[in-house]
């Protein structure tokens, strides 16, 4: 049996560095799976929100009543190929969350104005 040469400290350090670099490269590749974007709130700044009294005075209450439009709650979504009754020129409101996209037909939204559902664990409120 041929006796093995002892590994020098320098060679050992180089070997460890290569392994670490490979691991970091593999982890960096995992970021190609896009994370969901973060929703951000934009609160009203000073002067942007009317006083409660002004707001109430400016409300037009003559056009409807509570729940005059029925909310679409927790519907089932389909793929584009399975969507029936869609014309190419009709408008959709589109949401792009990176790894998932959702289209809401305006012609349907016109009659409901509000859609609530959850996707990717996010509780969404679509308004039109």
Partner 1 sequence: MHVREIDGRSLRFGHRGWLWHSAFVLYDTETDSIWHHQTGWAMDGPLRGKALPRYPTQLMTWRAWKAEHPGTLVLPKPNPTDPAVRSDDYARRNAVISYGLGVDLPGAFRLYPYVELDAGPVEEYVDGVPLVVTLDRTAGGAFAWDRRVDGESLSFEVVAEPDARPQLRERDGERAWWLRSGRPVAGTGADGPLRAVFANQWEVAAWGFQHPTGSRYPDSTK
Instruction: Burial-class residue 38 by CB neighbours within 10 Å (0-12, 13-18, 19+).
Output: exposed
Q: What phi and psi, each to the nearest 5 degrees, are found at residue 114?
A: -140, 135
The smaller minimum CB distance to partner 1, of residues 12 and 54, is found at 54
Q: How far is the CB of 40 from partner 1 (least distance, A)?
A: 6
Tally of residues, the chain: 128
List binders of partner 1 among 92-111 (CB under 8 A). 92-97, 100-108, 110-111
Pair 33, 78: CB distance under 8 Å: no
Does position 122 interact with partner 1 (CB under 8 A)? The reply is: yes
Residues numbered 26-55 forming contacts with partner 1, rule: CB under 8 A: 37, 39-45, 47-50, 52, 55
> How many amino acids of this chain bind partner 1 (CB under 8 A)?
74
* Footprint on residues 55-84 left by partner 1 (CB under 8 A): 55-56, 58-61, 63-73, 75-80, 82-84
């Amino acid at each position: 049996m041929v006796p093995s040469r002892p590994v020098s400290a320098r060679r050992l350090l180089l070997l460890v560095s290569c392994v670490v670099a490979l691991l970091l490269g593999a982890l960096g590749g995992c970021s190609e799976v896009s994370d969901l974007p973060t929703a951000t709130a934009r609160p009203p700044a000073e002067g942007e929100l009317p006083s409660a009294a002004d707001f109430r005075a400016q409300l037009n209450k003559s056009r409807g009543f509570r729940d005059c439009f029925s909310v679409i709650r927790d519907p089932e979504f389909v793929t584009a190929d399975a969507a029936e009754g869609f014309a190419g020129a009709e408008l959709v409101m589109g949401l792009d969350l990176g790894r998932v996209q959702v289209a809401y037909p305006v012609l349907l939204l016109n009659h409901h104005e509000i859609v609530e559902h959850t996707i990717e664990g996010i509780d969404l409120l679509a308004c039109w």
